[in-house]
Structure 1
Amino acid sequence: MTATAPLPALADGVSRPASRAATTGLVMALASALAFSSSGPFMKPLLEAGWSLGAALLVRMGLAALVLSAALVATLLRQRGFVRDHWALIIGFGLMPVVGCQLLFFSAMQRMPVAVALLIQYLAPVILVVAVWIRSRRRPSGLVLAGSVVAVSGLVLVVDVSGAAFDLWGVLFALGAAVCVCAYFVIAERAGDDLPPLALAAAGLLFGTLVMAVLAVTGILPFRAVDVTVTLAGAEVAWWIPVLWVGAVATSVGYGLGVMAVPRIGSRVGSFVGLSEVLFALAFAWIFLAEVPAPIQFVGGALILAGVILVRLDATSSVGGRGAPATIPVVPAP
């Protein structure tokens, strides 16, 4: 029996392959947030021009499922029991991160200012921290608590909730959207060799598309897609350009890279990195919709980044064996 050399370790005890995987995961998570953030600025002109929300979401999900379908087909050919073995996660992914998050958020947005709905939805990282606290019965580290406070403070400055009125149903819908965001990170964390991330995303999007189609056919959600032109970055473009971008690029890349990133960096760090989506959305709205951010929003953006860095530092310590668990325990211990 031949001896194997140990993996080279960094100064803090983290192996180099693990460090590279975490770095790759962070890059993927940021790219996922960047992709997702472009959806709002591209969908907003469509909705204002007469498209119904049901039509926009159905086309968005369907195109994204089509783009990622090759990964699902390859997995089905390799693992004949893929759907049978993972049907619960697939349905959960389709119902919560895909359908539930969007329907609940837009329902909240119709009852309260967009900024307030965004703020509540993006409390998902804090909800995950509390969930870990309750499940593990261990208080989060000082870095995590500090990062949570700093990041949420920055989020408040970025979305600007001054003068907002309280609406109970709106708050409940937005909290439901936040829970769906948590489900996204927790389910994505289960991906691996047996559950390929891209196949999970494709199957979830396909199931979500079927659910949206049923809602549209039954009339529960109005379906209206009109031939219009919209204004993006000061130019008049046909309706299919933003539709193609949102479905084939923003949504497919967002979900695809997101589910690949979370297993590498953990659900908690991934959820905090996801806060960068609101910063990227501000930039896209500035470029394509001429909505110039206020100076205070730049300060909020800096605080969000600081909070993410604090949580990431704690995750690095955890891998080295000194910190609290960085992920939520999704399987009960035997």
Structure 2
Amino acid sequence: MTHDAVVAVPPRSASGITIALLSAMSFALSGALVSPLLDAGWSAGAVVLVRIGVGAAVVLPFGVAALRGNWALLGRNLGLVTMYGVLAVAGAQFCYFSAVQYLEVGPALLIEYTAPAGVVVWLWVRHHQRPGRLTIAGAAVAGVGLLLVLDVFAGIGLHAGGVAWALAAMVGAASYFVISADDTTGLPPITLAAGGLVVGGVLLGVLGLLGVLPLRAVRASVDYAGVEVDWWVPLVLLGLVTASFAYVAGIAAARLLGSRLASFVALSEVVAGVLWAWLLLGQLPGPLQAIGGLLVLAGVVGVKLGEKSTPEVQQIPL
């Protein structure tokens, strides 16, 4: 008298996908917000440091409150929080911006967003969760969609150093999903996010002081869709929306969906990034990019259907 079929819980799954999509849309906003700042003379390192720093300042009080005085819980998971901050926050950000020094943004993003494949491989090797056929098919469809969305068929030249940095960013992104999905620690999602942002912000600050991460700020107004705003407006939005909310929502979604499905839903960030660029920067996507967006969504659906035949371990210790 055994039950081999996995019983899905639609409300939990539906809410998880909704939160994951909101997180992806929030993360995606960063590209459109940052672009005019970089054009105005800001360095990528300065922008990301402000982004993570503001996010840490906003989330930290709520993260501390969520502990309810149980500092021993934080102490037991200090290593995990540190790993999250180093790999998922500072590592992914620093490696990505290092990659775009040698690669165009599109190819660098494409390499970084092979992270879902890394998650699938990790779960297969570490936890013996062999992906089903629908999961593999969905991953392939989403991959083709990404190629179209990022318009990489126009012809690119890959720099070996840039590829290495982008692959390192992929490891950071994959770590984000795996660590976020681990609900065995007892840490509230907002506490994990707060700790990770603090660790990541401190690490990026140290890199800046050492001169490894160039820091350059310019107090000049920037333009979005024909509207001129003060330089601090996009920085506040970067901290509040693309860091504070995005990281907390992403962790919550990963715990509801598991790291594999959450990582594939996060592919919608690329599609959302194209839409934000259209709305704020007037960069209208072409027909192939539109088709690619639909393929990404179709791939996510395929991965979701594959979850019914591939047991998902919600508790995923590293």
> Which TM-score bucket, shorter chain as reference?
over 0.9
Partner residue, 1:142: 133
Is 1:14 aligned to 2:7, yes or no?
Answer: yes
Match of 2:296 among 301, 304, 307: 304
1:109-124 mapped onto 2 (5 Å cutoff): 109-124=100-115
**Largest Rg, 1 or 2:** 1
Specify the code of the residue in structure 2 equivalent to 1:35.
S
Unaligned residue ranges in structure 2 (runs of 5+): none
Specify the code of the residue in structure 1 equivalent to 2:267.
L
Match of 1:154 among 145, 148, 166: 145
Partner residue, 2:310: 324
Partner residue, 2:31: 40
CA contact (8 A) 1:191 1:200 kept: no
Partner residue, 1:96: 87
Partner residue, 1:261: 253
Name the SS of the counterpart of 1:38 in structure 2.
Answer: helix
Name the SS of the counterpart of 1:21 in structure 2.
Answer: helix
Superposition misfits of 4+ residues, deviation over 6 angstroms: none
TM-score (norm 1): 0.89
Name the SS of the counterpart of 2:228 in structure 1.
Answer: strand
Partner residue, 1:234: 226
Specify the code of the residue in structure 2 equivalent to 1:142.
R
Partner residue, 2:96: 105
Specify the code of the residue in structure 1 equivalent to 2:225.
A
Q: 1:221 to 1:298 in 2, by over 3 A?
A: same
Residues of 2 paired with 1:196 and 1:70: CA distance? 13
Specify the code of the residue in structure 2 equivalent to 1:78.
G
CA contact (8 A) 2:99 2:108 kept: yes
Is 1:270 aligned to 2:262, yes or no?
Answer: yes
RMSD of Structure 2 on Structure 1 (CA) = 1.8
TM-score (norm 2): 0.93
Q: Percent identity?
A: 41
Partner residue, 2:284: 292
Specify the code of the residue in structure 1 equivalent to 2:93.
Q
Residues of 2 paired with 1:295 and 1:303: CA distance? 13
CA contact (8 A) 2:55 2:197 kept: yes
Shift of 1:130: 2.1
CA contact (8 A) 2:181 2:314 kept: no
Shift of 1:166: 2.0
CA contact (8 A) 2:264 2:303 kept: yes
Alignment deviations for residues 49-81 of structure 1 (CA, whole Å, 9 cap, x no partner)? 111222111110111111111222213443121
Specify the code of the residue in structure 2 equivalent to 1:14.
V
Unaligned residue ranges in structure 1 (runs of 5+): 1-11, 318-322
Match of 1:80 among 53, 65, 71: 71
